[in-house]
Structure 1
Amino acid sequence: MHSRTELDLEAQQPSAARTFVRSPFFLLVITAGVLALLLCVTVPQPIGPMFWDHYLYLDAANRIRDGQIPSVDFFTPVGALGYYLFAGLQVVFPNGQPLLLASWCLLLVTGPLMALVVFDVQKRSALFAHAILLPFLLFSVLPFNTGDFYPYPGSDGFGIYNRQVCQLLYVLAAALVHIRDRRILVFVVAAAMVALFFVKITGAVAGTVLCLMAFAAGRMPFKSALAAALLFFAVLAVAEISVSAVSAYLNDILALLAVNDDSLLPRLLQAASLNADLLIPAGLLGLVLFVAHLSSFAQSLRRLGGQPSLSALARVFDQPFLWLATFVLAGILFESQNTGSQALIFLLPLLLKIVADEVTGAALQPRAIAVAILALAATLPPATAVLQKSARAWIGAINNVPLESRNLKTMGAVNLRPILALRAERLRDIYTAHRPAFDAFANAGELPSFLLYSDFDFQAGWLANIDEAIDAMRAYEAANGVRFETILNIDFTNPFPWLMDRSAPKHVAIGADPFRAVPPPDENVRAALRSVDIALVPTCPVTNVNRMLLSLYQPSLQPGHERVTLTRCFDAFIRKELKATASAASSS
């Protein structure tokens, strides 16, 4: 029997279950469970600016299920990892809203890696572990960018892979700054760098900058850095040997660089100006840290000059203002290539450590207070932006009306304000009745509106046009006894093959922006275009962008295809051999 004292001691000690409930792991598990439940049903999302950007995932996933390999069999603007994760998650959750599937699929990678980070950190401080985990969950769960690209509230269906890179960089930064177990550090760094490479290569460039800083400052010893690098290149070697994925991906990147010849400096300045609300307090914080640690920095330099060694070099680099400057540089480099992102959120794990070191160290109290205030000022802008945008979009959606559709599957699970739904329908009538006016816009190289692709009415009308076109194609197939096995949409994105359970032509680019992401067609592309069964041309409205894309593809479509009017908002190039086969079958 237990004595009364022993029973009292057992009552005072928390049970294993209670300890787990209070741990960051429980929060991570609960979050994953809630997200899984939300993906089991189709949760409509309020339509937002450039909403069609996430339809690329539907096109890519459909191609992957057809056996096509990104970069090997078709041109992609970014890496393949996000598309594969989306395709896998879509199989498990077929009713999941596509925007949520695309936004949350990377948690299959970042979730386990973050679990390893908090596992190591909570050994020393559960509070620290929660402080690292909570912002990560905020940015991973709420599918919104930190920047504004439209005045009305709506879902951010664009820049998803940019957000995912920032979330990966957050995990990488947390590992480099906070993990002490070398084995966990090596694995997390290698896995995060592989994921960054295969999501977007500019993210891997930014991640390399962070890793070099950690190595120079002695946070990642040479053996650990070598082990992580070997793991990274081993995975790349397997991918290359298996399906030539790496060389094909790099060829796509080189093709993109050839199309995008903009100089870097203006884009760096643009990235800095867009994130000034964060960079100004971060810059002031760096200045305070530089002044505060100048004497120790100078002393480290003298030691390095007197007796050079790796440890002396590490002490030179292991300065908080150098860490902060390097992280900011990595962030601006990455953001210079983006439209839509969760910019510089990976500063948060570093700022947490800087504040903790200053507050708990021997720093003067006024300096510690100044550091804490500036760090908070640099931390709040991205968090408040995402919270505000999500609240505006979802609370404002209470009065929204669903988009009526027949053929859009889960892609049609969207809603918008009644006045915008009415405007979308009216504009479709105007585009049809006054087509010469919009031809004039295209001839002048202008869009009807500078923010046309961000306008909610355009995105809603575009979905309605797709819905009508599918009805028309099915009616054409039934009337002529044919089946369009391969379908191309001569537009930014091509959801038709997924919506109709058909195939997209190989080699043709997804995310078809002719100004930034479509290289000149090679023989593989031209052959694929010649054999496509039907290629659709949107006409509501005619735009200079689609006209330029058509100029790239039309030489391969003629003379083997005949152009017909499919609907009031779509023309179509139908393969003549297909029509001839249908006519012969009808005659017999």
Structure 2
Amino acid sequence: MSDAVRSSKAFADLRDTLFSPLLILALACVSAAILLSFAVTLPIGAFYWDTFIYFDAAQRLSNGQLPSVDFFAPAGPLGYWLFAWLIDVFPSAQPVLLAQWMILIVAAPLFALVLADADRRSRTIALALLLPFLFFVALPINATDFSSYPSIDGFGYYNRQSIHLLYVLTAALIFATRRWVILTVLGGTMTALFLTKITGFAAGGLLCAFAVLAGRVTIREGFLVLAAFLAVLLAMQLANGVPLAYVGDLVTLAAMNEGVLLQRFLQAASLHFGVFASASLLCLALLYAERSDLAQKASALARTPSRAALSALFDRSAFWLAAGLFAGLFFETQNTGSQPFVFLWPIVLLALTGISHLGGRMLVVCLALAAAAALPSVVHTTQKAARALIGQINYVILDLPVLKTLGQVSQRAEIMERSATMLDLYERFPETYQAHVNDKILPSFTFYTDPDFQLTWLRATAEGVTAIEAYEAEHGVRFGTILSLNFTNPFPYLLNRDAPHGVSIGADPSRTVPKPSAEVLSNVARTDLILKAKCPLTISDEELYEIYEPALRDRDRITLSPCWDGLVRRP
């Protein structure tokens, strides 16, 4: 073999290694771990206080509580378990990035199986599956904008995590061929979806059902996956009792959030009309392009009904896209923040690989519609992430060490100053905000989405922590259990205390706080310190007070600071 041939072969081997999908995925995971090891700061955005929920759950878990068993949770337990473990591994991590990337612990190994399978046949296909996945997992950006200021989205975690798991599931159903890979990924993703968000699990179930119809998964294999899924849940139930308690929470949440399903479908379709309409038109175009083959396969099925004939009719990109669109639209009916329909990319990729035989005009139409369905999400996410990263070059960092990593945020100097001014106004003019409470309205319709409110709430939280520590030092007491009558309760985490059993984390009185049982009220009554926020006074906080009022009697009311009253349990 000549030197030139050896050199060419060595170069080809190096290229294959460098562009290996598994290597790229591994490097991405390592890069994420490295970034989580540093105290990164990100620009604060709408609903950042949703991030507090993870810290509330993590502190409860560290004190021996279990999701759904010992506290009411708005989503599945998987995210809380992962976050509680990872904040010990990465104590300096920016919490938004930690919550965004932790799903890789589950998704990356399963996706690696799919990539390895696909890479055996086509390196291009494997990379085309991998790169969009890494792009959307990397960026905590939602499709719907709630703030005009450059920022990251510190909410919608459960929805984005479900989308990423659905992406892995769809890629396996479409491009994996090894049976053990398909079954392993189906079992892993469906279990993770169930333990993350039930609507994601339902969407995944719709995809799996269509996979059986299309012949990608046999009925026998479906029952094997179901048996494995149930076996995992049974083992968990015997170990900690979480699954049945979680199902009980789901039933309660469903009863509290009843609504007109058709209306929610229409709302989801209108919110994401660009992507949904383009993908729907692509589906119709593919059906039109395949009309002759469809007629033949339908005729064959009618003449000789069989499993093979059924699969030959339905296993095509148009029907896969229709199934994915329905599953995605159903999932989005229950979401506020998400990366909607991103998991359709493997199906669009399937369509692109099958239209090369089409004639000129039809090929152009399908390519244009595929681009219209896929590119808007990429462009919007890129633009929003670029604005956030570039904008924070001139942003001011919030300097409140008592907030620990929760305070690793920044924003424009004017907004930062405004948050300090607003805190002062809340303290000096409480009657103004009491008037809003009396009329059962917020100071503005989008009050909680404003970055200055989120910053003001961080400042008020820091004030509360300092005030509690000062009161304890002055009076020689220590409050072992603390509950904040507010949407989130970060105080046990920030002060290393416990929270009462049975109460909801992420306490929205209209959606996530069921009527407390006698046991829950008893737990609240035994809580050492219950905090009532005054900066600002809001209708939600008043409603929480009314919900737990039977357990709040016979307490001493103290003024901890201008922003916080404390209801202290009497000895």
Bin the TM-score by the shorter chain: over 0.9
Structure 1 residue corresponding to 2:9, chosen from 8, 13, 25: 13
Name 2:208's counterpart in structure 1. Answer: 211
In the alignment, the residues of structure 2 paired with residue 467 and residue 431 of structure 1 have an alpha-carbon distance, to the nearest angstrom, of 15
2:361 to 357, 360, 366: 366
Secondary structure of 1:510's counterpart equals: coil
User: What is aligned with 1:533?
Assistant: 528
Superposed displacement of residue 463, structure 1: 0.7
Q: 1:18, CA displacement in angstroms?
A: 4.8
Identify the residue that residue 239 of structure 2 maps to in structure 1.
Answer: 242
Distance in structure 1 (CA, Å) of the matches to 2:517 and 2:389:
44
Please point out which of 196, 199, 220 is paired with 2:196: 199
Contact 2:237 2:243 in 1 (8 A): yes
Give the residue type in structure 1 aligned to 2:488: T
Aligned length: 570
Counterpart residue identity of residue 269, structure 2: A
Q: Is 2:178 the counterpart of 1:184?
A: no
Please report the TM-score for the alignment, with normalisation by the length of structure 2. Answer: 0.98
Kept after mapping to 2: 8 A contact 1:293/1:319: no
Does residue 330 in structure 1 map to residue 327 in structure 2?
A: yes
The answer as to 2:98 corresponding to 1:104 is: no
Give the conservation status (yes or no) of the 8 Å contact 1:507–1:525: yes
**Cα deviation digits, residues 524-553 of structure 1 (max 9, x gap):** 211110110101111111111111111111
Q: Which moved further from structure 2: 488-497 or 236-245?
A: 236-245
2:560 partner amino acid: L
Equivalent in 559, 562, 565 of residue 568 of structure 1: 562
Contact 2:317 2:348 in 1 (8 A): no
Is 1:493 matched up with 2:488?
yes
Q: Supply the distance in 2 between the matched residues of 1:14 and 1:218 (Cα, whole angstroms).
A: 42
Give the Cα–Cα distance (whole angstroms) in 2 for the partners of residues 443 and 262 of structure 1.
27
Q: 2:305 aligns with which of 304, 308, 313?
A: 308
How far apart are 1:226 and its partner, in Å? Answer: 2.5
What does residue 552 of structure 1 align with?
547
Q: Helix, strand or coil for the counterpart of 2:367?
A: helix
Q: 2:435 aligns with which of 429, 437, 440?
A: 440
Give the ranges of 4+ consecutive aligned residues of structure 1 lying more than 6 Å apart after TM superposition: none
The Cα shift of 1:8 comes to 4.3
CA offset digits 1:264-323 (Å, max 9, x no partner): 111111110111110121111111112122222222222222111111111222232221
Task: For residue 223 of structure 1, report the CA deviation from its aligned partner.
Answer: 3.1
- 1:386 Cα deviation from its structure 2 partner: 1.2
C-alpha separation between the residues in 1 aligned to 2:135 and 2:552? Answer: 47
TM alignment of 1:122-271, pairs within 5 A = 122-271=119-268
* Cross-structure match for 1:519: 514
**What is the CA–CA distance in structure 2 between the aligned matches of 1:479 and 1:164, rounded to whole Å?**
45
1:478 aligns with 2:492: no
Contact 2:282–2:366 (8 Å) recurs in 1: yes
Question: Aligned with 1:151: secondary structure?
Answer: coil
Partner of 2:458: helix, strand, or coil? helix
Q: How far, CA to CA, are the matches of 1:236 and 1:414 in structure 2?
A: 38
- For structure 2, list consecutive stretches of 5 or more residues without a partner in the other structure: none
Report matched runs for 1:27-106 at 5 Å: 27-106=24-103
Say if 2:317 and 2:350, in contact at 8 Å, map to a contact too: no
Letter in 1 for 2:559: T
Q: Is the 8 A contact 1:147 1:385 kept in 2?
A: no
Query: TM-score, structure 1 length as denominator?
Result: 0.95
- Matching residue's letter, 1:151: S
Using the TM superposition, give the Cα deviation of residue 406 of structure 1 relative to its aligned residue in structure 2, in angstroms.
3.4
CA drift at 1:14 = 3.1
Contact 2:485 2:531 in 1 (8 A): yes
Query: Distance in 1 between the 2:10 and 2:65 partners?
Result: 53
Amino acid across the alignment from 1:571:
D
Flag the 1:214–1:81 CA change in 2: closer, same or farther, 3 A.
Answer: same
CA distance in 2, matches of 1:165, 1:14: 41
- What residue in structure 1 maps to residue 372 of structure 2? 377
Q: Tell me the amino acid that sits aligned with residue 576 of structure 1.
A: R
Q: Displacement of 1:225 after TM fit?
A: 2.1
Deviation at 1:365, TM superposition (A): 3.0
8 Å contact kept, 1:493–1:512: yes
1:420, CA displacement in angstroms?
A: 0.6
CA contact (8 A) 1:355 1:368 kept: no
Contact 1:46 1:397 in 2 (8 A): yes
Structure 2 letter corresponding to 1:514: P
Partners in 2 of 1:401 and 1:126 — Cα distance?
A: 44
Whole-Å separation in 1 of the counterparts to 2:406 and 2:29 = 23
Deviation at residue 90 of structure 1 after TM alignment? 1.1
SS at match of 1:161: helix
Q: Which moved more, 1:146-155 or 1:454-463?
A: 146-155
Distance apart, 1:432 and its partner CA: 2.1
CA-to-aligned-CA distance 1:340-388 (integer Å, 9 cap, x gap): 00101011010001011111xx322322222111111100111111111
Question: Which amino acid counterpart does residue 326 of structure 2 have in structure 1?
Answer: L
Cα distance in structure 1, aligned partners of 2:340 and 2:38: 30
Give 2:172's aligned amino acid.
A
Q: Which amino acid aligns with 1:281?
A: S
Q: 1:411 aligns with which of 387, 394, 406?
A: 406
Q: Alpha-carbon deviation of 1:40?
A: 0.8
1:6 deviates by 5.4
Q: How far did 1:83 drift?
A: 0.8
* Residues 220-265 of structure 1 deviation map (CA, whole Å, 9 limit, x = unaligned): 1233322222221211121122222111001001111121122211
**What CA deviation, in whole Å up to 9, does each residue of 1:397-425 have, x standing for no partner?**
11111112131111111111111111111
Residues of 1 paired with 2:494 and 2:538: CA distance? Answer: 24
CA shift, 1:449, in A, is 1.0
Q: Tell me, in whole angstroms, the C-alpha distance in 1 between the residues paired with 2:470 and 2:481.
A: 17
2 CA distance for matches of 1:40 and 1:395? 22
Amino acid at match of 1:573: L
C-alpha distance in 1, partners of 2:543/2:60?
A: 25
1:302–1:18 Cα change, 3 Å = closer
Equivalents in 2 of 1:14, 1:368: separation in Å? 39
Instruction: Name the SS for the 1:341 alignment partner.
Output: coil
Measure how far apart 1:114 and its partner are.
1.3
Give, in whole Å, the separation in 2 of the partners of 1:180 and 1:190. Answer: 16
Name the CA distance, whole Å, in 1 between partners of 2:333 and 2:262.
Answer: 9
CA distance in 1 between partners of 2:302 and 2:203 (Å): 30
- Counterparts of 2:224 and 2:255, CA distance in 1: 34
Q: Which amino acid aligns with 2:480?
A: E
Q: 1:17 Cα deviation (Å)?
A: 5.3
Q: RMSD value over aligned CA atoms? A: 1.3
What letter matches 1:313 in structure 2?
A: L
Q: Deviations over 1:488-528 (max 9, x none)?
A: 11111111111111111111100100011110001221111
